[in-house]
Structure 1
């Protein structure tokens, strides 16, 4: 696998020198300062590329060129936003960067209820807690109909938990869910969030899939013409939340995705954390099935719990068998004669990460370096044994 690290640009506390020292050879980044839906200009693309290459690294994947909300909704100026996206594809290709990760999640990117959940060893991890999510929807957001999306047991626990929460705890929960990531969505106020959610009233899974299909049928021919691959990231978590449809969360959804446009440019970012949070997903089987369409790997592991909660576990721990995952990857790499770009995703806060708490949540230096080292060793052992 081609070993990469995500980098959030010049403002990232994890510097390019740190990434190189960690053993990665490539960088995954984006033009985080460009407003969502606007054209990425060649000059700005080249500036970032030059910075990365001056550090002795390569820009292996763009993550992400975000999809404007109007495209997902097919409203307003969505046709112009699609034209902007096509031009951005042409511009990144002209600069020699030809791999694009994106997602089609409504309103939010990945969602967690805790950003600094303490593990038994003192490290911290990201966590999605189903009871806390119910508290947010039922009592903080006060979403109409939210009670229909949870079991009676979860609702009872949520009511009890909410009654004992302090104002600080309520604020922490809201801040976690409303927190944005650079280049995707800014931190939102509750009123802004409710307004964005309301735009999806009445939207079904099929409606959103139809809009994704329309988008891909517009942009994939441009990508293919310019030698670019598009790799969709699965929904995280892989379940409906906040009354919003999630449409890339299972093997069946990926079947639909690859069927929308029959092109190698219409591909997949295989995220073992997102897909692994769904207990029905057989990850090695899916890697084998979609091997020709997988262009990018996010390797992380989550520990699933019975009620649908999960937390980010060790990269080689958790509920997914990472040995079988990497073995399946090694086989498709050998079949295709390539090295797939991989990045260790969502590292724990450990050692100095806990002291110098300046990195974006889940993107600490040492936690991800530990994950990269473990995955590198696992891959070496597997390849030597094949």
Structure 2
């Protein structure tokens, strides 16, 4: 497996020289500073690639080539947006990039309610509180129908939290929910979020699936011609929130997407944490079922609560059997080597991580600290070494 590390380019507080000390050999990055819908020029791509190579790395995966919200809504004439997207793909391919990770989550990326929840023995983690999310939906955004999306006990606790919260508490919650959007993304206050949600009022799961199918129809043939692989990232959290449909939350969703274009160019980013937050998901089983279409892996773990809340756990300490999951990916790599596939080595990165020791003082992107992710990478490296160890007589 190919050890990689997510780097936000000029927006990142972590330098490539520091990442080199983690032992990772690959960089996962994107041109986050370019607004959605605009073409990534070959010159800009080449400059980013040169910086990565000069620091001693390989640019392993593009994460992400973002999709404009109008495409997700299938809003109006999209010909220019699709043409720009395909041109960016061509420019990436011309610079040797072959793997593009993307997501199709409406409006928001990964969503948390707490960016610094305390962890036993010190440090902090990202957390999704069902109570706080329900408070946001019911009493801040005032989406009355959200009462049907949460258990009665959560609704009761949400009302209590809202009634006792301060304006600063509510502002902090809104900041946390928006924090999953890196780079040149729109961020909203409560009134702005209400307005943005209205654009999705008539879009349910079936409609959003249709819009994803249209996107795949536009880009997968181009990816095949360019020798590129697309890999969709699962929803995070893997459930509808704010009335927005989520369509990449379980094995059935993934199966539908991969069958929509039965092509190696249409693949999966296996995100253990996103899928692991759904109690119905057996993540190692999902990895084995779709192994031949996994082009990239995010390895992290979560610990779930009965009310639908969850938080980031240490990489080997959450609800997902990480050793079994890594074994599934290594099994697939073995099959690819035997088949002579050029993509025999699956790139992965330690995803998210606890803020440990001095991490909290650096102001890095939430979920992407240096020391916490380095701990995760070291643990995963040990698992891989143990599973691939061969005693020499």
TM-score over 0.5 (shorter chain): yes
Residue by residue over 1:50-107, the C-alpha shift from the partner in whole angstroms, topping out at 9 and shown as x without a partner, is 0000000010001101110010111124222111111111110001011100000000
Provide the C-alpha distance between the structure 2 equivalents of 1:246 and 1:78, rounded to a whole number of angstroms.
Answer: 22
- Residue matched to 1:101: 101
**Change in CA separation of 1:28 and 1:329 when aligned onto 2, cut-off 3 Å:** same
Check if 1:250 corresponds to 2:250: yes
TM-score of the two chains, using structure 1 as the length reference:
0.98
- Residue matched to 2:213: 213
CA contact (8 A) 2:113 2:176 kept: yes
- Residue matched to 2:385: 380
- Residue matched to 1:41: 41
Provide the C-alpha distance between the structure 1 equivalents of 2:43 and 2:161, rounded to a whole number of angstroms.
Answer: 52
TM-score of the two chains, using structure 2 as the length reference:
0.96
Alignment of 1:181-330 (within 5 A): 181-183=181-183, 185-330=185-330
- Residue matched to 1:352: 358
Provide the C-alpha distance between the structure 1 equivalents of 2:184 and 2:259, rounded to a whole number of angstroms.
Answer: 27
Greater shift, 136-145 or 17-26, is seen at 136-145
Alignment of 1:106-117 (within 5 A): 106-117=106-117
Q: Quote how far apart the aligned CAs of 1:249 are.
A: 0.4
CA contact (8 A) 2:112 2:180 kept: no
Residue by residue over 1:251-281, the C-alpha shift from the partner in whole angstroms, topping out at 9 and shown as x without a partner, is 0000101011111000000000000001111
CA contact (8 A) 1:205 1:247 kept: yes
Greater shift, 278-287 or 259-268, is seen at 278-287
RMSD between superposed Cα atoms in Å: 1.2
**Change in CA separation of 1:385 and 1:321 when aligned onto 2, cut-off 3 Å:** farther
Residue by residue over 1:162-181, the C-alpha shift from the partner in whole angstroms, topping out at 9 and shown as x without a partner, is 22212221111111113352
Residue by residue over 1:214-250, the C-alpha shift from the partner in whole angstroms, topping out at 9 and shown as x without a partner, is 1101100101110110000000000000000000000
- Residue matched to 2:56: 56
Residue by residue over 1:343-369, the C-alpha shift from the partner in whole angstroms, topping out at 9 and shown as x without a partner, is 000111001102x23110000011000
Q: Quote how far apart the aligned CAs of 1:330 are.
A: 0.8
Task: Please state whether the residue corresponding to 1:302 is helix, strand or coil.
Answer: strand
Task: Please state whether the residue corresponding to 1:327 is helix, strand or coil.
Answer: helix
Greater shift, 177-186 or 328-337, is seen at 177-186
CA contact (8 A) 1:93 1:228 kept: yes
Provide the C-alpha distance between the structure 2 equivalents of 1:156 and 1:124, rounded to a whole number of angstroms.
Answer: 27
Greater shift, 144-153 or 265-274, is seen at 144-153
Alignment of 1:115-154 (within 5 A): 115-154=115-154
Residue by residue over 1:120-169, the C-alpha shift from the partner in whole angstroms, topping out at 9 and shown as x without a partner, is 21200000000110011111111231212111111111111222212221
Task: Please state whether the residue corresponding to 1:295 is helix, strand or coil.
Answer: strand
Provide the C-alpha distance between the structure 2 equivalents of 1:262 and 1:305, rounded to a whole number of angstroms.
Answer: 36
Task: Please state whether the residue corresponding to 2:354 is helix, strand or coil.
Answer: coil
CA contact (8 A) 1:179 1:186 kept: no
CA contact (8 A) 2:180 2:366 kept: no
Q: Quote how far apart the aligned CAs of 1:189 are.
A: 2.1
Greater shift, 182-191 or 344-353, is seen at 182-191
**Change in CA separation of 1:184 and 1:330 when aligned onto 2, cut-off 3 Å:** farther
Unaligned runs of 5+ in 2: 338-343
CA contact (8 A) 1:109 1:184 kept: no
Greater shift, 106-115 or 186-195, is seen at 186-195
CA contact (8 A) 1:71 1:79 kept: no
